[in-house]
Amino acid sequence: MTAAPQSIMPLLTQMTFIVPELMLAVAIVVVIACDMFLPREKSWQCGWVALAGLGIAAMDAVYLWNVTSGRMLGGPARLFWGMVSADNFAMFFKLMFLAGAGVTILLSLRSAELTRMRSGEYYALLLTATMASCFMASSSNMLMLYLALETLSLPSYVLAGYRKSDRQAAEASLKYILFGAVSSGVMLYGLSLLYGLAGSLDYAAITRIATVNYPVFIVTMIFLIAGFGFKMSAAPFHFWAPDVYEGAPTPITAYLSVVSKMAGFAAIMRLLAPYFSMTTIAPYFDAARGMLGRQFDLTSIFWLLAVLTMTLGNFTALRQTNIKRLLAYSSIAHAGYMLTAFVAHNKDAFSAVMFYLIIYFIMNFGMFAAVTFIYNRTGSFQISDWRGLFYRSPIVVVCMGILLVSLIGLPPTAGFVGKWKLFVAVVEEGQRSASPWFFYSLVLIALANSVVSLYYYVGIIKQMCFYEPGEKLANFRFNTTQKLAMLCFAAPIIALQINWQPLSRFVERGMGAARQAVIMIIPMTTHQNQTLRAAEKTHGPQAFDIRHTGDHPC
Amino acid sequence: MSPQTVIFYCLAVIIILSAVIATFARNIVNAAYGLFFTLLALGGVYVLLRADFLAVTQIVIYVGGILVLLLFGILLTNRRLEDLIISGQRSSLLGVVMGCVIFAVLLAIIFYARWPQSENAQLEGTTAPLGYLLLQNFLLPFEFSSITLLAALLGASYLVRPSERD
């Protein structure tokens, strides 16, 4: 038996911290029940039920955001015998996942790819995946993490192949399952090694291994990165992405490219937060050090991973003619940019990733919304069929232009701010480091990659603006809802370039910034909060801690 | 050599040989039988490790359930066995090289690592403690796995249902 850390908080009070997930579980059941009573042509209405469930979950997540405010990432886990942590980092990602699922459902309701199909399962599976991503962001135990990862993957496999009659969808689903099974198996092998060494699945146990068995730690980390890399679509594990993105229904493509990827980043960030200061502890792998000219550690692995991911993504995107494939490679490249933060591996860099993820959320959902709207009328995903779109709907094309410029990362958009924050974090770490060019070279490669990406993003803008409209766009126009939706995606991109302070503060709180920064939206006098504070008063701030990992620089 | 060690090495030989058969057999039925012996012998290893519940679970679920299901699946879906289901390997050279590298790394790790020695556990049933753990320390994963299974069931039932699109 493992040592059972006794929790002081009653189980029911602990459960109040996972109410968003519980609400989603309820919503899953309700959606399935509704689907049973609705005829097929009306089963799309399940989408609204699912949306309502997400709304209630999101409201509770906002409330919990205030309750858990001020708890550090990498701090002690306290719920359910150390299975999940209740901190703002988890709540930050839960809010993003719920919002992402909401946008996905709205897009699904408007997508021509999904009409005339039975959609009860679709929304139930989408909610399951969302619930699993919520647990992925908050899990602080390997078992919970693996279970959440699998629960996110299983519905994704089905959703990717939801258009059963479509050959491409079947191929997408099958490829996704095969790659998913392999990477999850590799990850599980790594976990088994960790468990054998530590005798515990808690994240804190891994910290101990890192100090005793450093080479083993590195190898197991590589195994784990295979699992996360699959979700993040990082380079050697990205092969599924283009085919799955192409074959899946467009709203699901958007979901996979944003929510699924964010879940991977959230989980690995929580896992690695305790190692902020530990990456250079052990003087092992002398041969490798001589070969690489630097200590072979986690940062080296991430350096390779980041460079490989962004370069492969950007250069392969150059040759794409299908917009969904292009966006797939673009999303791989963006994963590469965000992986640079793991090379710098400090608090600023992680904040920058979270900041970038929000902007990436807006940019990608915006682009996929446009893809859905255009497909609804033209039935085509070819970029060449977008020719002359500008003359049909200048407003929407301007919005898309803004999103594309933001994807490049050029100044009048939020994409620039995001990249700036990321790269500055890396450069600053370089200035502190003994081998600055390790970091500088990474930023230079990332900048060169941005220049490469300019080519294919601008290529889309060129197609839309500098040609006469093709025959597929003969009677084409966007309706008012679609125009409004595109404006809703483009407006924040501009607004956040003008003033990104509110978003920065939001991210800082997500990282567990000081409690005085909390804006009290809801009076915190609930039973839940009283219990928390009272226990802290009697037992000290570590009341529910099952581990004391000492100093987290974060 | 204690009898336990002898039994362990016998089981290990069975596992490795049958795993090799499962991997390289051209006929999928032979591969399934190879897998059968792998899983069965693995159950024996669990017994040696005094994980009685796990051993029984292994035999009931993997040998009794999944493998029989696999064989039935093969027998029921394909009449011309040799023609249809033949596993093949492509780019085997790369696979061999990669496999050897990974094997070497793992071997180095296993010999290098300082594995913690557990105190020699008494031979008593693990079922009761497992039950307690499932409703205490592992309560959340235990309940959450029901959602996992629900998702798998939903997805599978959707995929196998005949297409509704006219």
> Quick check: B116 and A121 CB within 8 A?
no
Is A109 inside a domain boundary? no
- Distance (Å, rounded) from C-alpha A191 to C-alpha A169? 32
For residue B32, the tally of other CB atoms under 10 A from its CB is 18
Which among A235, A381, A247 is positioned nearest to A313, based on CA atoms? A235
Q: A272: which 2 tokens?
A: 């690695």
Is B72 inside a domain boundary? yes
> Quick check: B141 and A125 CB within 8 A?
no
Q: Which residue of A has its CA nearest to B148?
A: A151
For residue A488, the tally of other CB atoms under 10 A from its CB is 15
Can you spell out the DSSP letters for A205-262? Answer: HHHHHHHH-HHHHHHHHHHHHHHHHHHHT-GGG-THHHHHHHHS-HHHHHHIIIIIHH
Could you give the maximum distance between any two Cα atoms of chain B, in Å?
Answer: 69
The residue among B105, B136, B153 that closes a domain is: B105
> Quick check: A197 and B141 CB within 8 A?
no
pLDDT tens-digit profile of A192-245? 988 888 888 888 777 777 767 777 888 888 899 988 999 999 988 899 999 999
Is A44 inside a domain boundary? no
Angle, helices A298-317 vs A214-232, to 10°: value is 20
- Distance (Å, rounded) from C-alpha A168 to C-alpha B56? 42
Per-residue pLDDT, averaged over A133-143, amounts to: 92
Does residue B89 sit in the same domain as residue B130? no
Per-residue pLDDT, averaged over A26-35, amounts to: 94
Q: Determine the distance in angstroms separating the CA of A26 from the nearest CA of chain B, rounded to an integer.
A: 11
Are A96 and A361 within 8 A, CB to CB? yes
pLDDT of residue A217: 80
Are A336 and A235 within 8 A, CB to CB? yes
Q: What is the CATH number of the domain that holds B6?
A: 1.20.120.1200
pLDDT of residue A363: 95
- Distance (Å, rounded) from C-alpha A129 to C-alpha A151? 6
* Higher per-residue confidence, A56 vs A478: A56
Number of separate domains in chain B:
2
User: By percentage, how much of chain A surpasses pLDDT 70?
Assistant: 84
CB of A117 within 8 Å of a chain B CB? The answer is yes
Taking the CA atoms of residue B113, residue B119, residue B123 and residue B129 in that order, the dihedral angle to the nearest 10 degrees is: -90
Is A486 inside a domain boundary? yes
Q: Which residue of B has its CA nearest to A84?
A: B140
Q: Please identify among residues 47-106 of chain A the ones whose CB lies closer than 8 Å to any CB of chain B.
A: 79-81, 83-84
Is A445 inside a domain boundary? yes
Query: How many Cβ pairs closer than 8 A exist between chain A and B?
Result: 106
CB of A227 within 8 Å of a chain B CB? The answer is no
CB of A123 within 8 Å of a chain B CB? The answer is no
Q: Which of B113, B151, B165 is the closest to A125 by Cβ?
A: B151
- Distance (Å, rounded) from C-alpha B7 to C-alpha B2? 9
CB neighbours of A165 closer than 8 A, spacing ≥ 6?
B163, B165
* DSSP H/E element including A453: helix A436-465
Is A408 inside a domain boundary? yes
Are A376 and A110 within 8 A, CB to CB? yes
Domain that holds residue B76: 1-105
Beta bridge partners of A382: A322
pTM for this structure? 0.88
A291-295, A505-509, A549-553, B58-62: which has the minimum mean pLDDT? A549-553
CB of B155 within 8 Å of a chain A CB? The answer is yes
CB of A125 within 8 Å of a chain B CB? The answer is yes
* Higher per-residue confidence, A531 vs A123: A123
pLDDT tens-digit profile of B66-109? 888 888 888 887 665 555 555 566 667 888 898 899 899 889 88
pLDDT tens-digit profile of A423-477? 999 999 888 877 788 889 999 999 999 999 999 999 999 999 998 888 777 778 8
Is B118 inside a domain boundary? no
Is B119 inside a domain boundary? no
Q: Which residue of B has its CA nearest to A125?
A: B151
Per-residue pLDDT, averaged over A75-87, amounts to: 77
Low-confidence ranges of chain B (pLDDT < 50): 166
Is B135 inside a domain boundary? yes
- Distance (Å, rounded) from C-alpha B76 to C-alpha A191? 37
Number of separate domains in chain A:
1
Q: Which of A36, A130, A154, A194 has the highest number of chain B CBs within 10 A, making it the mutation to test binding with B?
A: A154
Q: In chain A, count of helices (H) and strands (E)?
A: 23, 0
pLDDT of residue A285: 36
Is B116 inside a domain boundary? no
A75-79, A174-178, B133-137: which has the minimum mean pLDDT? A75-79
> Quick check: B154 and A199 CB within 8 A?
no
- Distance (Å, rounded) from C-alpha A211 to C-alpha B135? 33
Are B165 and A116 within 8 A, CB to CB? yes
The one-letter code for the residue type at A535 is A
Domain that holds residue A469: 313-498
Which among A12, A10, A61, A53 is positioned nearest to A30, based on CA atoms? A53
> Quick check: B147 and A161 CB within 8 A?
no
A62-71, A80-89, B114-123: which has the minimum mean pLDDT? B114-123
> Quick check: A81 and B139 CB within 8 A?
yes
- Distance (Å, rounded) from C-alpha A123 to C-alpha A27? 10
pLDDT of residue A469: 85
pLDDT of residue A535: 54
- Distance (Å, rounded) from C-alpha A150 to C-alpha A141? 14
Residue corresponding to tokens 């989603």: A24
Angle, helices A480-498 vs A347-378, to 10°: value is 160
Is A159 inside a domain boundary? no
CB of A441 within 8 Å of a chain B CB? The answer is no
> Quick check: B133 and A80 CB within 8 A?
no
Q: State chain A's mean pLDDT as an integer.
A: 83
pLDDT of residue B80: 57
Is B120 inside a domain boundary? no
Q: Determine the distance in angstroms separating the CA of A197 from the nearest CA of chain B, rounded to an integer.
A: 5
Residue A296 predicted with pLDDT over 60: no
Angle, helices B28-48 vs B68-77, to 10°: value is 170
Q: Determine the distance in angstroms separating the CA of B155 from the nearest CA of chain A, rounded to an integer.
A: 6
> Quick check: A158 and B159 CB within 8 A?
yes
Beta bridge partners of A202: A141
Is B114 inside a domain boundary? no
Residue corresponding to tokens 């992925």: A136
Are A149 and A181 within 8 A, CB to CB? no
Chain B CB contacts of A213 under 8 Å are 112-114
Does residue B96 sit in the same domain as residue B131? no
- Distance (Å, rounded) from C-alpha A131 to C-alpha A144? 13
> Quick check: A28 and B158 CB within 8 A?
no
Does residue B101 sit in the same domain as residue B130? no
Q: Determine the distance in angstroms separating the CA of A45 from the nearest CA of chain B, rounded to an integer.
A: 18
A6-15, A208-217, A330-339, A534-543: which has the minimum mean pLDDT? A534-543
Is A448 inside a domain boundary? yes
* DSSP H/E element including A394: helix A394-408
- Distance (Å, rounded) from C-alpha A149 to C-alpha A451? 34
Are A70 and A515 within 8 A, CB to CB? yes
CB of B12 within 8 Å of a chain A CB? The answer is no
Q: A552 by DSSP, 3-state: which?
A: coil
Q: B106 by DSSP, 3-state: which?
A: helix
Chain B CB contacts of A197 under 8 Å are 113-116
Chain B CB contacts of A117 under 8 Å are 164-165
Q: Which of A18, A161, A196 is the closest to B115 by Cβ?
A: A196
Is A323 inside a domain boundary? yes
Residue A514 predicted with pLDDT over 80: no
Is B69 inside a domain boundary? yes
Does residue B82 sit in the same domain as residue B153? no
Does residue B62 sit in the same domain as residue B97? yes
Does residue B20 sit in the same domain as residue B76? yes
Residue A130 Cα distances to A58, A152, A258, A339, angstroms: 12, 7, 12, 23
* DSSP H/E element including A427: helix A414-432
